[in-house]
Every structure is written in structure tokens, then in C-alpha cells.
Chains A and B, each alone.
Chain A
Amino acid sequence: MKAKTIDRIATGIIYALVSVVVLILLFLLGFILIKGVPHISWKFLTSPAQAFIAGGGIGDQLFNSFYLLILTLLISFPIALGAGIYLSEYAPKNWVTNLVRITIEVLSSLPSVVVGLFGFLLFVVQFKLGFSIISGAIALTFFNLPLLTRSIENSLSAVPDLQREAGLSLGLSKWKTVTRVIFPIALPGIITGIILSAGRVFGEAAALIFTAGQSAPAINYADWNPFNGTSPLNIFRPAETLAVHIWKINTEGIMPDANQVSAGASAVLVIAVLVFNLLARFIGARLYRKITAGK
């Protein structure tokens, strides 16, 4: 065969494969959105769930998902940032560093249900934290930490060494070079990494079933004292998130409109993750332009 023909066939195959991926994605998204979006209403988004009668909403679950997400990021970001800075800027190239990297790889490929069971045994049972937001947040931190650390390390490493040399040669200390030159340059990438990981955390169910629990006790949105049992901010109350709610309705939901609630909740979840992704791109690009003073 002539090289030109082969080239054409190869190009055709690649296009076909890409179309398969895109089609599957569009089908999935379309299916979930078309089925779910009609059920989304303000009332659906704000009212509490119903176990036995129709007309339940997802208000508490939605709040729980966001609250858990924020707590998880508050715990995991500082740790991941420190670890990422160490790995990218300070770690010597030796077997210890390699071991740390391999450990992080392994941790990131750990199935989330295993993380959930571990969290259940350690935090829920052993430390007697019970099914609670804090147990869930710690489990999600375990789940999130490796990926976030890796993305922060990669964003920092992507900054050319020329910039490090420039900083040091101006008489900046290593710490100042890292924090005031390298970090700002890497910041858009880091923000993108955080938001993308937020999307994953937001949609996570398996790790939470055993840690944050599957029940959503009534929350009193007028009570913002985190030490009260019914306060939304209480970190020791059990908290069913949106993803867990979807899973639960589909396995044991007995309300008459279970299908509709599940479809609506799924659509909300997908939309939220989509928004996270778009936000990541937008904020990342915006921040980069701002830092680089470009137009």
C-alpha cells in the first residue's frame, strides 16, 4: 500500500475512535440531563428528602455535599500543598523520595470503597466519631490527598528552572523563590487541580457510605452554632450527601417518586461537576492572565 493510503486509513481510524469516546460521553450526559432536568425546581433543590411519600427534595443532601467538600479541601489542601512543594522543590533525587512517590501512586489507585471501610474501622468505630461529617471529611481527605498532591507537584515542576535561577540569582532565599516566584507562576495550575479534585470529591459515594453515613437527620438552618446537634455546621452529625442519596434511592428507595428524585439528583450532580470543570478552566485562565499582566 502506498504511504498516502495508509496515512488516510490511520487518520480515519483515529477519528472513529475519538467519535466513539465523544458519542458515549454525549449519550451519558444527554440521558442523565434529559431524564433529570425536568424534575429540577427551586422546591426540589431546597426542600428536605421524604422517605415514604412523593415530593421530597434534596436540600439537605446538597448542603451536606458542599459542606463536606469545603471541609475536605480545608484539611487536604494545606497538607497537599506542603507535600507538593517538598516533592517538587526540596526532595533530593534518591530512593526515599522515590518511595514516597510510589506510595502516593498506590494511595491514588486505592479503590474508594476501601478508603471508606478503612475510615469506618478507624474513625467511626475506633475513634468513636460515629457516622459523622468529620469522619467523612477525613476519609475523603485520604481519597483526595494523593491526587491533589500530584497535581500540585506537577504544576510546580512545570515552572521552568530558568525561573528558579532567576529568583536565586537576584538574592532571594530558596523559600522566597519558591513562595514568591514559583508558587504564583504555578498558581493557575494549582487552582485548576483543586477544582477538578473538588469535582471528584463532590461525586464520591463509596467512601462516604461507611463514614458520613446514609441518613440526613433534620437540620435547622436557623441555628448556625456548630456545637448544636441540629446545626448545619455541626461536624459530628451524620450527613448523607447527594451522591450517597442517589445510591440509596436506587438500592432501597421506597418513595413513590424514587425514579424521578434519583434522576433529578443525578442531573444536579452532573451539572455541579460540569460547573466545577468549566470554573476550573475559567479561573485558571483568568488568574494566569492576571499574574502575567497579560491582556
Chain B
Amino acid sequence: MENVITAENMRLYYGEKEALHGINLAFPKNQITALLGPSGSGKSTFLRSLNRMNDLIPDVTITGSVKFEGQDIYSPKMDVVNLRKRVGMVFQQPNPFPFSVYDNVIYGLKLEGVKDKKLLDQRVEESLKQAAVWDETKDHLKESALSFSGGQQQRICIARVLAVQPDMILMDEPTSALDPVSSSKIEDTMLELKNDYTVAIVTHNMQQAARISDYSAFFLNGDLIETEATQQMFVNPVQEQTSDFLNGKFG
């Protein structure tokens, strides 16, 4: 199977301190990969290094390689802006711009210079539909995205990422700030997205991982302990630590 992103012996340091100890993990195309583990295990840090969002933190260094479609994203030749267009991200806290729903969704495109109103309209509708929030927003496109509920805001954020038409979407605990109903809507959305996109999701919620993911990777203290087809891992984990975690002995 084709992999979209492959990390090989990837190590990440905050200053002198090593936070990720040599991660080897690949993300298969059109599959959902869940990154599991207790708080502080490094799963979010790892996710954020896949589209170089860790660049925002001073003093972070990375060794090893992370390849996106065969190209090392930490090579000096990498165009980070372009990388982030192709590897989009959804955050833990819904963070729509305080603009209208319409402007939120097309902001990326507009700044790229797309002026064709018809195309923009069409992309807004498409993206909101894909993110399963079209019915709730279609009559309120000119209203502030902030006037919607948390769950709707998060789906607007997903639509905003989709409008840029990335290849891969990184989700950093996208439902942890939301109520169960909104969460399950977003899970449905993700299962839909799988057809067109590759998804990596960090989650605290093991049921969620079991429901939606194809592959699971278990992180602990900056190590990748085990990676497996989700079914396999949940039924029959290889490592004892994984089994302890899945059985709620810690984390």
C-alpha cells in the first residue's frame, strides 16, 4: 500500500531534552491512522511535526527523516507554505477566524488569488457539505462563524481545511472539546473523508479510535510502542504496555 507520510528514526528535541525517541511510522493512503497514548506521550508533538507546526516553538530540533511523497519535509529545500497547503490541520480547540462562515471557508483560496465568484461559491458549498455542516450553515453563510456551536465551529474548521484541497489531514484531538453528539457527527465526517483523504488523528478516546481508525499507533513517554491494524491491536496487542493502556491500567 502507498504511504503518504513516512517518518524514519525521527527524534525531536526541546532544547537539550529529547522528547521523541526515534519514531518509525508510515501513514497509508486513504486510511485513518489513530495516534493513541496517555498525556505527555508525545503523540501531539509527533502529529505537529508532520506539517512543521512545531516550527512555531523556539528551540525545537528534529533529526531523522519525515518524508511526504518521498520528499524530506525538513530539508532546507522544502517549501513549508506549500507543505501546509497539502497537509492540513484541525486543532483541539475549534479556531475559526472571527469572520463570516463564507470567508472562513474560502480564506485560503482567496489569498491565493482565486477571484472567480462561481468557483468560490461552489467550493464553499462542496467543502461545507463534505464536512457535514452545510445544512446548518447554508442559510447563514454571511454570519460570523463564532455564532455557531462548538461542534459546528469545528466542522466549519474542517471545511476550511478541505477547501484548500490537501492530500492529508492531521487532527489533534478534534472532538475533545465537544459534546458527544457533535463528536459523533465529526466521526461520521471523518469516515466520509477517508475516501478522498488520508487522515491522522490524535485521540484520548479509545472507543473513538476503535470506531473510526484503520491503523493505530500507541505512544508512551516519547516512544512508539506498537503500531498495528486497529482491529488487531485492540483485540490482541503484542506489547504488554499496550494491553495495560487499552485495559485502562494507566493513562
Contact = CB atoms under 8 A, between A and B. Distances in A.
B99 A168 contact: no
A185 B98 contact: yes
Contacts of A254: none
Q: Which of A93, A163, A169 has the largest number of chain B CB atoms within 10 A? A: A169
A92 interface: yes
B142 A293 contact: yes
Contacts, number: 77
B97 interface: yes
Contact of A292 (B58, B111, B144): B144
Interface in A168-185: 168-173, 176, 180-181, 184-185
B56 A170 contact: no
Nearest to A169: B89
Interface in A181-198: 181, 184-185
A164 B51 contact: no
A172 B108 contact: yes
Given A92-B58, A93-B58, A170-B161, A162 B91 contact: yes
Interface in A220-234: none
B140 to A, nearest CB: 10
A4 B74 CA distance: 62
B207 interface: no
B66 interface: no
A91 to B, nearest CB: 12
A292 B104 CA distance: 10
Contact of A165 (B56, B81, B142): B56
A272 interface: no
A285 to B, nearest CB: 14
B189 interface: no
Contacts of B83: 171
Interface in B74-90: 81-86, 88-89
13 contacts: A160-B95, A165-B91, A169-B84, A171-B85, A171-B164, A172-B81, A172-B108, A172-B111, A176-B111, A291-B98, A293-B103, A294-B147, A295-B143
Interface of A: 92-93, 160, 162-173, 176, 180-181, 184-185, 291-295
Interface of B: 51, 53, 56, 58, 81-86, 88-89, 91, 93, 95-100, 103, 107-108, 111, 142-144, 146-147, 157, 160-161, 164
**Nearest 10 interchain pairs by C-beta:** A171-B85, A293-B100, A162-B95, A169-B89, A171-B84, A292-B98, A170-B108, A293-B144, A166-B95, A294-B144
